[in-house]
Structure 1
Amino acid sequence: MTASDASKKSGAASRSASNTSTLAGYEGCADDYAETTAPKPEAGDQPALVELLKAVEPGNCLLEIGSGPGWDADWLEERGLAVRRTDGAESFVHFQASRGRNAERLDVIRDPLGGPYDGVLALYVLQHVERGVLPAVLEKIAQALRDDGAFLFSIREGEGETVEIGSKGNEYYVAQWQRSELVSVLAALGLGLFWSHSFEGSEGRWLIALFRKGAPE
């Protein structure tokens, strides 16, 4: 999930903005977010998901953190993967139920992740985890992966923390990371970089990266 309705930024995170306040902001915008991010057939396949398919096999089980409306899970399941859909916002769990999909509420910071999984997918969600907390979350993800399991995620590239203000006045906490920082953190957890891509989005620069457990750095 991203705060796609963000209208302002501040240079440093306010004391009130956190993962918790960010989740509260998403509780009221599931329908709008789903409409904004709905798949567009003319856009073709997502390169990051195509790379994930190279690392996992049909029938493999994936954990999706921050499933949102469930569009990525739909795409992966259509190609033979089993996806455990989870999100920290109850509104997205209900949205997916309304379209006949089973999703669970899961707080990636506080809840056990289960597993082991053949892969973990966390696109446009981990930027909302506080910088001081993310290394522990990444450790939980590494522990939830099988040997040679794949981890695909995205993060905002940069330094420090920021707050984005949504159109309804909600605060969305955003942590920014350098690619080299994350490679180092994940290498210490036994995950090596397999593929990465950076691009400029409407909200800033993004890094999407695929790591493999047990792969060389």
Structure 2
Amino acid sequence: MTLIDLGLVGPAQSDDLFHFTGRNGGRPDDIPVEISTMTPEQRLDAILGTRVLRGFRPFGATQKCVCFSESPPEHLAHLIGARGFSPWGVVVSRAAVFALGGGGVAYVPDAVHTRFRASGLEHWAVRTGTDSVWLHEREWRLPVLRGEVRLGGVRAVLVGNPHWRPSLVETEDWVNAETGERSQGPDGNPHTRPVEDLPPLWQESEIWVWDATANAVVKHPPGTLR
């Protein structure tokens, strides 16, 4: 994946795009019940275990997209503290989303949004009005034709609890559960099974823990929260 230099960000911008796994308000109709009933922590757990972000149709659009919010630190504090966003999700860079075909959406009046829709581009615009006020989301969208995108890596994982850890996943290593001896693979012994560990995405990424008292994130280097 070739990353394009998008230039330096100013104080009102951020190179960090947040995909929050919880939202306040309604949800698009096409989200399956098994996903809509999950907690933000459970959705993040599924993302870390599968390395997959699933896309759904934003309100008023037919194209499935994965959505992100561009947030410098003070705006992130505003979203979580004042807007009720859940501090759970993954953080990627603007350049990474841009390289995959994503970009920032346009916030436009109804008449302009109608023109986007007529061109089949309504997923690139959010209409504004008294019943549609979403400028605070500073949204970026990544259209996903197959409904999902596989994550090679992320900048950080955002969590709201310093003691939370994702579910263990199977690795390529094997062990005899009775003796603790490592094995090259299945050997016919019923006690030989794959070694489980924290997901690679968790171990490879910075972990940003939301501190509600400080109204900011505490950043931990990759591999330090086990």
With normalisation by structure 1, the TM-score equals 0.27
Q: Give the greater-gyration-radius structure (CA).
A: 2
Structure having the larger proportion of residues in helix = 1
With normalisation by structure 2, the TM-score equals 0.27
